[in-house]
Every structure is written in C-alpha cells, then in structure tokens.
C-alpha cells in the first residue's frame, strides 16, 4: 500500500488542485509533483511568477499558498505498480467533504487529469457551492497536448 501526502491548505485557499496519487518519484522525494518531468510546478510558476525557477520545495509550496492554491489527492491510499493511474487497486478515498467544510473559502476543485475527477465524482458527486474544472494532466505520461497548450488551459482556470 502507498499513501498520499497531507493536504497543502490554509485559511486563504480558494482553489484545490486534486491529483490521483503521488507518483513513484513524488513519493521518493516526499513532494507533490516531484517527478522532474511533471509540468505542474512549471505551469504554476509560469502563471504566477513569470516563469521564475523555484528555489526548492518550500518555495513551491509557499508560492502555491500565496496564490490561494492548495493541493491534495483524491486517494488516501492504494496498491499500485509504478506510477500509472491505470495500475491502481484497492483504493481508499480522502475525506474531501470534511476538508471543504473545514476550509469554506475553497470554491473550486481543479482536477489534474480525468482520473482524479472520475474517482471524485463517483464518490462525492457534485458538491454544492463548489465549481469543478477538469484540466489536462501535467504528468509526463500525458503527451496529448504540448506544454504551451496545457499552460493556456491551466492559466485560464488558475486566474479565474
């Protein structure tokens, strides 16, 4: 069994980026989106910091928080060979209704790919007062869109 990280959230969080489960690299580095080829942090820093290169993980987290962006995964734990969501088995869900109740400023869930959205929708449906946005996955496994196309879509949502 592998487990997700604690949520990155505070009283100023207005949008939560919802992933499925940390990759092998993310778990090894103990960082959300820790795979160096994952484009999440590059997108976030392009949108909010003019493309500045983050100094370290603390810089990444503080930048996300300073812009009202939180992070958590839909799955609390699962069994999985490798990093692909298609290999997930025996999953247990995180308690998003309680998180949202405890953080009432969160008004948008931004799903990093289709899989996190599908798990969430199946478990919780449409929660009242929360906007859902499904984004192209920033994972290196998603080669359907190039970086510029992903950046444009993510920027629209992150800046809304």
Residues annotated as catalytic are 38
Q: Please state, in angstroms and as integers, the Cα–Cα distance from residue 137 to each residue in 26, 71, 95, following that order.
A: 15, 14, 22
Number of H helices, E strands in the chain: 6, 7
Which contacts qualify for 120-124: CB closer than 8 Å, 24 or more apart? 120/18, 120/74, 120/96, 123/74, 123/93, 124/96, 124/97
């Amino acid at each position: 069994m592998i487990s997700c990280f604690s949520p990155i959230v505070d009283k100023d969080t207005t949008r939560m980026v919802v992933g499925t489960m940390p990759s092998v690299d993310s778990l090894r580095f103990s960082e959300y989106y820790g795979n160096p080829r994952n484009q999440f942090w590059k997108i976030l820093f392009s949108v909010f910091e003019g493309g500045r290169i983050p100094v370290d993980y603390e810089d990444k987290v503080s930048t996300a928080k300073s812009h009202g962006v939180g992070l958590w995964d839909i799955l609390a734990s699962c069994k999985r060979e490798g990093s692909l969501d298609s290999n997930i088995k025996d999953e247990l869900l995180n308690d998003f209704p309680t998180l949202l109740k405890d953080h009432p400023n969160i008004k948008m869930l931004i799903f990093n790919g289709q899989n996190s959205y599908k798990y969430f929708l199946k478990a919780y449906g449409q929660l009242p007062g929360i906007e859902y946005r499904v984004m192209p996955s920033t994972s290196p496994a998603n080669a359907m869109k190039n970086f510029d196309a992903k950046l444009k879509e993510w920027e629209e949502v992150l800046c809304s």
